[in-house]
């Protein structure tokens, strides 16, 4: 008697299930915790697990895009070196204990730390958008913008209108908006209006539909960068998306509290390189000439800085390595703000070691998070952090979205990268590491405003956690490598 259809389907799925588990075990270079988490998920939830693994189990891009991304970045980095743009900062300009962190960033940027930069810290999110709009209105040559989330709200439309004005007066405007984070805008009439005005636009990492979804880009691997470059003379870098702080798509967590700085000097060219690499990989348009264009001259009183990007084409754990190196250089204090805290093992160990060697280590997280899973996992790490001497604070003034790290009020890291697995291993991120006591002090003062609106997590608070809550939070940490 021939086997039934149901038996054949069950046998086929069993074979697929075993093959997927073997694939999860055979992937080279995977973190052991991630490998264990995926195998556990596949064993406990075979039906759902197989589908999820095929969609998001590996940080792959479509082969053509991956090949283009690598080739384009290599080409642009060579062009920048050949043009000697920008020149390296003197080694002695950076304290010795922080030089390893800068060298790591140089390896990622394929270029040197550059001197002679200046920066201006925006007072708040609305002021940052106002500064961007003013810069776009003053542009004479090029305007380049890349955002993960771009909403059609007050601030989002102010930028749309400024781009239309710039394009109509002959400025070359190029825009990258993530295909998932900015999907409503990409599908709206505002996107078409910019195209009609002459703005050149690209939806980043678009998702294939139907059966082709398994042949396209990984669904949850996103271009999380926030880059604005005006005329090769001014750039913005920080945590802010192109949206109102009220963030109406998730209004119950509002206001979104962000940080954004504008920079002038040679570091502008490095941020331009990141934008150009993304644009060329997505569109094929050659932007190599941009790197030879004159940039803002170095200022004699400026500071060393380096703009760098990370992503699925970077060495594994590259962003975590930068965090760890900065923590390793701290001698007196380190203050960190991040909305999403799901550390890998090296980052967690670095935080613990930092506090144990006597460095005052403070970590500021949002009290209410738009990701319930990340919030629960973050809290599961509290006992270990507090036992080591790390002081953890929960911010109550909205969703603290600013990503900042300031050790010893001497250097500072700002940008788009969170301290979670997504930023560390998956998403395309951009950051600027700078060495300036003045700017580091200004960012520390901003961190102090976060601390004034935060409540410290105390050991007695942790002791009051119920057993079901502890069980839930600790269980989720087992799956943190796959979230």
Question: Could you report the per-residue pLDDT of 292-314, keeping only the tens digit for each?
Answer: 776 677 788 899 999 999 998 89
pLDDT at residue 206 tops 80: no
CA-to-CA separations, 150 to 124, 154, 176, 186, 250, in angstroms, rounded: 17, 11, 10, 9, 13
Task: For domain 318-482, give its CATH number from 1.10.3720.10, 2.40.50.140, 3.30.870.10, 3.20.20.140.
Answer: 3.30.870.10
**Burial class (CB within 10 angstroms; exposed 0-12, middle 13-18, buried 19+) of 33:** middle
Question: Which has more confidence, 107 or 8?
Answer: 107
pLDDT at residue 3 tops 60: yes
Task: For domain 63-105+114-306, give its CATH number from 3.30.70.1290, 3.40.1390.10, 3.30.870.10, 3.20.140.10.
Answer: 3.30.870.10
Q: Of 10, 234, 256, whose CA–CA distance to 132 is shortest?
A: 234
Cis link prior to 478 (omega < 30° from 0)? no
Average pLDDT of the chain? 88
What is the model's pTM?
A: 0.89
Q: If pLDDT is split at 50, 70 and 90, which confidence band does 185 have? A: very high
Q: If pLDDT is split at 50, 70 and 90, which confidence band does 401 have? A: very high
Among 62-71, 84-93, 114-123, the minimum mean pLDDT is found in 62-71
Structure token pair of residue 374: 């990340």
Average pLDDT, integer, range 199-216: 71
Q: Name residue, tokens 């209105």.
A: 137
What angle do helix axes 154-168 and 189-197 make, rounded to 10 degrees? 20
pLDDT at residue 422 tops 80: yes
CA-to-CA separations, 33 to 30, 310, 344, 476, in angstroms, rounded: 8, 21, 9, 13
Residues whose CB falls within 8 Å of the CB of residue 400, separated by 6 or more in sequence, listed in order: 257, 337, 339, 364, 365, 366, 450
- 125 contacts 313 by C-beta, under 8 angstroms: no
pLDDT at residue 395 tops 90: yes
Alpha-carbon distance of 51 to 76, in angstroms, equals 38
Average pLDDT, integer, range 353-368: 97
For residue 155, count other CB atoms closer than 10 A to its CB.
23
Alpha-carbon distance of 108 to 216, in angstroms, equals 26
- 302 contacts 265 by C-beta, under 8 angstroms: yes
**Burial class (CB within 10 angstroms; exposed 0-12, middle 13-18, buried 19+) of 264:** buried
Alpha-carbon distance of 339 to 341, in angstroms, equals 7
Average pLDDT, integer, range 116-135: 97
- 264 contacts 86 by C-beta, under 8 angstroms: no
For 327-336, write each residue's pLDDT tens digit. 999 999 999 9
First to last CA, the chain: 46
Sketch the domain layout of the chain as residue ranges.
Answer: 5-56, 63-105+114-306, 318-482
Average pLDDT, integer, range 455-480: 82
Residues whose CB falls within 8 Å of the CB of residue 123, separated by 6 or more in sequence, listed in order: none
Q: H or E stretch including 228?
A: strand 227-230
Residues whose CB falls within 8 Å of the CB of residue 51, separated by 6 or more in sequence, listed in order: none
Alpha-carbon distance of 156 to 161, in angstroms, equals 9
Check for a shared fold between 63-105+114-306 and 318-482. Answer: yes
58: left (phi over 0), alpha (psi -120 to 50) or beta: beta
Structure token pair of residue 112: 């040197």
Q: What angle do CA 106, 109, 113 make, to 5 degrees?
A: 45
Helix (H, G, I), strand (E, B) or coil at 393: strand
């Amino acid at each position: 008697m021939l086997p039934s259809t149901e038996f054949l389907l069950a046998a086929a799925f069993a074979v697929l299930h075993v093959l997927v588990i073997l694939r999860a075990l055979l992937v080279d270079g995977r973190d052991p915790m991630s490998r264990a988490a995926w195998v556990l998920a596949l064993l406990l939830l075979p039906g759902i697990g197989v589908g999820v693994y095929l969609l998001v189990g590996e940080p792959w891009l479509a082969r053509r895009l991956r090949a283009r991304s690598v080739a384009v970045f290599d080409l642009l980095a060579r062009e920048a070196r050949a043009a000697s743009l920008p020149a390296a900062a003197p080694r002695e300009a950076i304290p010795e204990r922080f030089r390893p962190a800068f060298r790591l960033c140089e390896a990622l940027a394929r270029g040197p730390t550059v001197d002679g930069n200046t920066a201006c810290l925006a007072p708040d999110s609305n002021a940052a958008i106002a500064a961007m709009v003013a810069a776009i209105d003053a542009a004479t040559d090029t305007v380049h913008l890349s955002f993960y989330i771009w909403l059609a709200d007050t601030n989002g439309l102010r930028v749309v209108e400024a781009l239309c004005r710039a394009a109509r007066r002959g400025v070359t405007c190029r825009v990258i908006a993530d295909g998932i984070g900015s999907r409503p805008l990409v599908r709206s009439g505002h996107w078409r209006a910019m195209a009609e005005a002459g703005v050149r636009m690209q939806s980043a990492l678009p998702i294939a539909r139907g059966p082709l979804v398994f042949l396209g880009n990984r669904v949850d691997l996103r271009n999380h960068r926030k880059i604005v470059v005006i005329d090769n003379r001014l750039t913005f870098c920080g945590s802010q998306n192109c949206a109102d702080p009220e963030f109406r798509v998730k209004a119950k967590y509002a206001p979104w509290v962000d940080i954004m700085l504008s920079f002038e000097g040679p570091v502008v060219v490095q941020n331009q390189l990141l934008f150009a690499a993304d644009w060329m990989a997505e569109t094929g348009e050659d932007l190599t000439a941009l790197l030879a264009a004159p940039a803002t001259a170095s200022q004699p009183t400026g500071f060393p800085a380096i703009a760098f990007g990370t992503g699925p084409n970077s060495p594994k754990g590259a962003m975590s390595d930068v965090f760890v190196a900065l923590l390793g250089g701290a001698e007196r204090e380190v203050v960190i703000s991040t909305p999403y805290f799901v550390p890998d093992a090296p980052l967690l160990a670095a935080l613990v070691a930092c506090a144990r060697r006597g460095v005052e280590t403070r970590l500021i997280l949002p009290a209410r998070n738009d990701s319930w899973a990340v919030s629960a996992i973050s809290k599961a790490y509290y006992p270990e952090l507090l036992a080591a001497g790390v002081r953890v604070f929960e911010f109550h003034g909205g969703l603290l979205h600013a990503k900042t790290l300031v050790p010893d009020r001497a250097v500072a890291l700002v940008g788009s990268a969170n301290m979670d697995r997504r930023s560390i291993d998956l998403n395309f991120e951009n950051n600027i590491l700078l060495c300036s006591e003045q700017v580091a002090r200004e960012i520390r003062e901003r961190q102090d405003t976060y601390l004034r609106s935060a409540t410290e997590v105390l050991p007695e608070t942790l002791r009051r956690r119920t057993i079901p809550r502890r069980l839930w939070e600790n269980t989720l940490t087992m799956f943190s490598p796959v979230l």
